[in-house]
Amino acid sequence: MGEKHIVRFEPVGIEIEVDEDQNVLRAAAEQGIMLMHGCKEGQCSSCKSFILEGDDIELDRYSTFALPDYEKEEGYTLLCRAHVYEDVTIELLNYDEEMIRSGLPIQEGVAEVVSNDPVTHDMRHLVLRLVEPAEIKFFPGQYMDIAIPDTEEVRSFSMANTSSRESGQLEFVIKVYPDGLFSHFLDKKLQVGDRLDLSGPFGVFTLREGDNDLIFVGGGAGMAPILSLLRTLAERGIDRKATFFYGARGQRDLCFESELRELERKLPRFRYLPALSEPSDDGGWNGETGLITDVVKRHAENLAGSHAYVCGPPPMVEAAVPLLATLGVEEKRIYFDKFTTTGEPEQ
Ligand SMILES: Cc1cc2nc3c(=O)[nH]c(=O)nc-3n(C[C@H](O)[C@H](O)[C@H](O)COP(=O)(O)OP(=O)(O)OC[C@H]3O[C@@H](n4cnc5c(N)ncnc54)[C@H](O)[C@@H]3O)c2cc1C
Ligand code: FES
């Protein structure tokens, strides 16, 4: 452990103590302060903030796409990479007043594999049961970091279930990439009964209160946190008008179809609209076709007053967020999680 310093966040007036060995985002999360973030690895820029007072701040490795040199010189920083060596004051550029103080302190845990079954040709439904502690509280839409055994690496995965309270279970939907480190481990090694170390919860992709209409846009494993949010609507009997646009390449990429159709029956104002970008020529598909953003454009003309939740691969998120803003969703009401991958960050 290093020396500790005070970090003050403006304009919210929150102060926390940060050890020199910890980054600011992590220290805040441990103290239940939920700051905006995505990758936690200096790649997505969601945690970008401005240094109002203090100079002695050092950054771990990050991507210059997330923080270009000129911005660093102007005083911007990435809280997920920043270590402070004196007391500092930081202006949060993005924060959500409803969420910032509602954070659940992150916990370390051990969980056992209950099942690891395919749901499509390249996606798994991984179900874990917590061994220690027996429960980890999380908000639907949040994610855990799972350690890859025998490495120093962790990967983030969003829960598809709504709570670990009764069953102690955590459910995930995970895409298997041919050369991915976790993917390979999940595909070739992980067995029922194996134990995994994890920590969390993280993330701010959580359901905000209100009776506003809801637009969900997802692709690939972005299914996981959206399913968690939809299951929450059903469990709590929340009858908000909601549409889930889900983009896939072909029919073999669709999953949880029968549950989503069942949710349509339970939630009369909910519609599930899957769309295929590469439907096969055999005519077996009567649904929507095209890129999911085109499908959103076709169906949703004026979304003023809606809350939007977007989750999946970064290019899909980057296309959907500005589109939703053009269609009338207030920018601060577009919540998104980009499933950025780890790769080699640039300094
Ligand atoms: C907040 C957050 C939540 C996430 N939630 C989920 C989730 O619920 N489900 C889920 O499946 N993933 C999720 N991810 C992504 C996940 O954390 C991993 O990055 C991903 O599973 C790849 O890990 P890996 O170790 O298999 O691949 P890595 O070892 O990180 O990647 C190695 C190689 O795999 C290939 N590869 C990896 N990712 C991609 C990609 N996106 N496109 C093309 N090629 C790729 C590339 O060849 C890459 O060089 C989330 C990420 C974030 C930041
Ligand atoms: S959370 Fe800091 S750059 Fe992504």
244: in domain: yes
Q: Does residue 230 share a domain with residue 127?
A: no
Tell whether the model's pLDDT for residue 74 goes beyond 70.
Answer: yes
235: in domain: yes
Choosing from 56, 78, 100, the residue where a domain stops is: 100
What share of the chain has pLDDT > 90, as a percent?
A: 84
Strand partners, 273: 245
* 181 alpha-carbon distance from chain centroid: 19
The answer to whether the Cα torsion of 109, 112, 115, 118 is positive or negative is positive
Q: How many domains is the chain partitioned into structurally? A: 3
| pLDDT tens digits along 182-217 | 999 999 999 999 999 999 999 989 999 899 999 999
Q: Does residue 114 share a domain with residue 74?
A: no
345: in domain: no
Helix (H) / strand (E) element for 27: namely helix 24-30
Choosing from 78, 100, 122, the residue where a domain stops is: 100
Which ligand is closest to the CA of 120, given by its number?
1
* 279 alpha-carbon distance from chain centroid: 28
| pLDDT tens digits along 293-344 | 999 999 987 899 999 999 999 999 999 999 999 999 999 899 999 998 775 4
Which of ligand 1's atoms lies nearest the C-alpha of 314?
41
Q: Does residue 188 share a domain with residue 143?
A: yes
Q: Is the CB of 35 under 6 A from ligand 2?
A: no
346: in domain: no
**Distance between CA 21 and CA 215 in Å, rounded?**
40
| pLDDT tens digits along 152-178 | 999 999 999 998 887 899 999 999 999
How far CA 135 is from CA of 130, 271, 331, in Å, comes to 7, 32, 35
Task: Identify whether the C-beta of residue 125 lies closer than 8 Å to the C-beta of residue 45.
Answer: no
Tell whether the model's pLDDT for residue 345 goes beyond 60.
Answer: no
| pLDDT tens digits along 321-331 | 999 999 999 99
What share of the chain has pLDDT > 70, as a percent?
A: 98
Q: Does residue 132 share a domain with residue 25?
A: no
Q: Does residue 330 share a domain with residue 218?
A: yes
Confidence class for position 134, pLDDT limits 50, 70, 90: very high
Cα–ligand 1 centroid distance for 141 (angstroms) = 17
Nearest residue to 342 (alpha-carbon basis) of 42, 68, 34, 130:
42
Q: What is the DSSP letter of 186?
A: I
Cα–ligand 2 centroid distance for 134 (angstroms) = 30
The enclosing domain of 112 has a CATH number of 2.40.30.10
Q: Does residue 73 share a domain with residue 172?
A: no
Cα–ligand 2 centroid distance for 164 (angstroms) = 26
Q: Does residue 129 share a domain with residue 33?
A: no
Give the pLDDT of residue 343. Answer: 56
How far CA 276 is from CA of 58, 183, 271, in Å, comes to 45, 24, 16
344: in domain: no
Q: Is the CB of 337 under 6 A from ligand 1?
A: yes
84: in domain: yes
The enclosing domain of 292 has a CATH number of 3.40.50.80
**What type of residue is 100?**
I
Tell whether the model's pLDDT for residue 143 goes beyond 50.
Answer: yes
**Distance between CA 337 and CA 135 in Å, rounded?**
24
Give the pLDDT of residue 57. Answer: 96
Q: Does residue 81 share a domain with residue 10?
A: yes
Give the pLDDT of residue 94. Answer: 85
The enclosing domain of 8 has a CATH number of 3.10.20.30
Which ligand is closest to the CA of 80, given by its number?
2
Q: Does residue 166 share a domain with residue 120?
A: yes
Choosing from 100, 126, 156, the residue where a domain stops is: 100
343: in domain: no
Strand partners, 283: none
Q: Does residue 239 share a domain with residue 196?
A: no
Query: Could you tell me the residue range of the domain that residue 308 belongs to?
Result: 214-338
Protein residue closest via CA to atom 50 of ligand 1? 339
Cα–ligand 2 centroid distance for 135 (angstroms) = 27
233: in domain: yes
Q: Does residue 253 share a domain with residue 229?
A: yes
Higher pLDDT, 97 or 159: 159
Cα–ligand 2 centroid distance for 40 (angstroms) = 4
Tell whether the model's pLDDT for residue 4 goes beyond 90.
Answer: yes
Give the pLDDT of residue 264. Answer: 97
Q: Does residue 263 share a domain with residue 188?
A: no
